[in-house]
Amino acid sequence: MKLLATLAAALMTTGVMAGQYSTTAHGKQSTGVQRLAGIPRGNCDQCHSAHGSDGQYYDFALFEGNFGAAKNQLCYTSGCHDSASPKGVYHGPTVYATSAHNTDPNAFWPGPSPDGRAPADSGNCANCHDPHGLGDNAGLIPALAVAREETLCLTCHDSNGPSMKDIARQLSKTYTHRIADGVMSGRHAPGEDIITTNYSGMKRHVECVDCHNPHKLPSSVTHTPGTNTASDVLKGVSRVEAQYGASAWMPPAFSPRAANYVTDTRFEYEVCFKCHSSWAYGSAPPTAPSGGLETDQSVEFNPNNLSYHPVVAEIKNNSYTSPTATNGNIETMESPWDNGRHDTMYCADCHRSEVDNETKGPHGSYNAYMLRAATGATDNTFCLKCHKASVYAPSTDPGSTETGSRFDRQTTGNEEANHYFHVIGQQARCRDCHAGAESGTGFVRPGSAHGSNRAYGFVNGAKIRTFTPGLCTPTCHDHEDYTAGPE
């Protein structure tokens, strides 16, 4: 008993609140830890004893080593965390072994609260979890974590490290996922079920762990532009798969998948659709922090639509975005999209930091809607991040040599029906003709840069009344016929 009394006294002085332990998952009398059948569940002796079964003495009088070379052995050999947790939050030692949080030498808690750990403790569960539970002003911190929600992650993922990936910087920007602004805190629950009510109404929320599983970052390789396949960084989280039928401008059939569903996250958009589709909010969309009601992204990216950005599928009827004989073998895309083929893409290729070499992901930006460049009323810089200015906004008049696009002078055979005449000559902006209103004219509808079922080639701009290839009726002048290239 002397050992326990000493331990208990020490525990009190290390800041663990009296009485709190018995309310934790480890300490509960009904369901708490049980290694030894002879003593009650949750009892300190379940983990602490004068010596281990091998007669050895371990630090903190633990029954088994847990630190240094014995990394996490106590958690595993207890018979408790040698397999996955029921809701798939924790996927077991084999999966954890390959995670960046286990393998990276910088994955150790820097402190100051609770105290920092030594680099030798990198990869230890105890960097993120206190087996006795910790409290803060709001009470017991869920999941036995050492800090609440994003604070846990940002303590390492800030400019002070030890992680090299500074996410705190992204969240300090004007437009962010509302992870750290307090409005939606306390709504996420570890292991929450993938049901719509958890992601809508008063439960609507977003936390780091809604998109990342800290126990499952298999190789932590982020994605390379050109694909929509989910990278390892998005594995092991709940998500919503989409099966599209044959109809345009309709939501898909949705299949919600738990974090431990047999096949892992396939596409990035499945994670986004969990919150940004009618699956989550039905017919009552939330308000985007940057303004306006949100639109249903699962409808906008439906591959049956006449045109769309290739988030769900490649664009279907356009040989002009990649070099072929039809467009004079001209590359129309900027690097890294200039790979001679059609691509698919991430939502986060557009929604991310405005600085190219900063951390990837939709964490924050100084541009509205968390965009990588401004898409204001007169601004073409956003579109020209990926679509070549030399094709769509050439600085000098290419005259009769203008080529590359379906709307160039060589294709249309017309001095005015082309990009140079409009974009440079008339100072039209991309969204006057592309990705504007879904119906009506004179405005840009949020979300219309995603996809549209109004016309081919996204020609539903703010100033377009009607468009079919070869026949355009804008608000600026009478309708104009020209020779359109093959679709």
Closer Cβ to ligand HEC, 245 or 412, answer by number: 412
Residues from 36 through 95 that contact ligand HEC (CB under 6 A) = 44, 46-48, 60, 62, 66, 72, 74-75, 81, 85, 87, 89-90
Closer Cβ to ligand HEC, 86 or 399, answer by number: 86
Residues from 275 through 314 that contact ligand HEC (CB under 6 A) = 275-276, 286, 288-290, 294-295, 297, 301, 307-311
Instruction: Determine which residue in the list 65, 88, 214, 256 makes contact with ligand HEC, applying CB under 6 A.
Output: 214
Q: State how far the Cα of 155 lies from the Cα of 333, in Å rounded to an integer.
A: 39
Instruction: Determine which residue in the list 127, 260, 265, 460 makes contact with ligand HEC, applying CB under 6 A.
Output: 127
> Least CB distance from residue 55 to ligand HEC, whole Å?
19
Interacting stretch for ligand HEC, rule CB under 6 A, among 50-58, 125-133, 249-257, 395-403? 125-133
> Least CB distance from residue 138 to ligand HEC, whole Å?
15
Residue of 48, 52, 63 lying closest to 6 (CA atoms): 48
> Least CB distance from residue 245 to ligand HEC, whole Å?
18
Closer Cβ to ligand HEC, 140 or 423, answer by number: 423
Question: What HEC string does 241-275 produce?
Answer: EEECCCCCCCCCEEEEECCCCCCCCCEHHHHHHCC
Interacting stretch for ligand HEC, rule CB under 6 A, among 49-57, 161-169, 240-248, 394-402? 161-169
> Least CB distance from residue 103 to ligand HEC, whole Å?
8
Secondary structure (3-state) at 389: helix
Q: How many residues bind ligand HEC (CB under 6 A)?
A: 156
Closer Cβ to ligand HEC, 81 or 409, answer by number: 81
Residues from 102 through 121 that contact ligand HEC (CB under 6 A) = 104, 106-109
How does DSSP classify residue 103?
Answer: H
The verdict on 462 binding ligand HEC (CB under 6 A) reads no
> Least CB distance from residue 451 to ligand HEC, whole Å?
8
Instruction: Determine which residue in the list 95, 156, 242, 299 makes contact with ligand HEC, applying CB under 6 A.
Output: 156
Closer Cβ to ligand HEC, 140 or 145, answer by number: 145
Interacting stretch for ligand HEC, rule CB under 6 A, among 7-15, 240-248, 249-257, 394-402? 7-15
- The beta strands (E) that lie in 135-189 are given as 135-136, 139-140, 175-176
Side chain identity, residue 361: G
Residues from 363 through 402 that contact ligand HEC (CB under 6 A) = 363, 368-371, 375, 380, 382-387, 392-393
The verdict on 141 binding ligand HEC (CB under 6 A) reads no
Closer Cβ to ligand HEC, 140 or 350, answer by number: 350
> Least CB distance from residue 262 to ligand HEC, whole Å?
19
Q: State how far the Cα of 354 lies from the Cα of 371, in Å rounded to an integer.
A: 7
CA end-to-end distance (rounded Å), the chain:
83
Q: Tokens 């949020």 label which residue?
A: 446
> Least CB distance from residue 475 to ligand HEC, whole Å?
11
Is-contact 315 332, C-beta < 8 A?
no
413 exposed, middle or buried (CB, 10 Å; 0-12, 13-18, 19+)?
A: exposed
Closer Cβ to ligand HEC, 431 or 454, answer by number: 431
The verdict on 323 binding ligand HEC (CB under 6 A) reads no
The pair phi, psi for residue 23, each rounded to 5°, is: -100, 0
> Least CB distance from residue 447 to ligand HEC, whole Å?
3
Residues from 166 through 195 that contact ligand HEC (CB under 6 A) = 167, 171, 175, 177-179, 188, 190-191
Residues from 416 through 445 that contact ligand HEC (CB under 6 A) = 419, 422-423, 428, 430-435, 444
Instruction: Determine which residue in the list 140, 194, 240, 272 makes contact with ligand HEC, applying CB under 6 A.
Output: 272
- Within a 10 A sphere around the Cβ of 245, how many other Cβ atoms? 11
Q: Which residues contact 417 (CB under 8 A, 6 or more apart)?
A: 407, 409, 472, 480, 482
Q: State how far the Cα of 258 lies from the Cα of 342, in Å rounded to an integer.
A: 32
Closer Cβ to ligand HEC, 21 or 279, answer by number: 21
The verdict on 254 binding ligand HEC (CB under 6 A) reads no
Secondary structure (3-state) at 411: helix
Range 153-171 burial, b when 16+ CB lie within 10 A, else e? bbbbbbeeebbebbbbbbb
- As a residue count, the chain comes to 487
Q: Which residues contact 273 (CB under 8 A, 6 or more apart)?
A: 239, 240, 242, 254, 279, 280, 297, 298
> Least CB distance from residue 401 to ligand HEC, whole Å?
16
- The beta strands (E) that lie in 314-450 are given as 364-365
The verdict on 240 binding ligand HEC (CB under 6 A) reads no
The pair phi, psi for residue 262, each rounded to 5°, is: -55, -40
Joined tokens for residue 106: 């910088």
Closer Cβ to ligand HEC, 238 or 263, answer by number: 238
> Least CB distance from residue 429 to ligand HEC, whole Å?
6
Residue of 236, 221, 233 lying closest to 191 (CA atoms): 236
Cα-Cα-Cα-Cα torsion 357, 361, 366, 372, nearest 10 degrees, comes to: 70
Q: State how far the Cα of 330 lies from the Cα of 406, in Å rounded to an integer.
A: 11
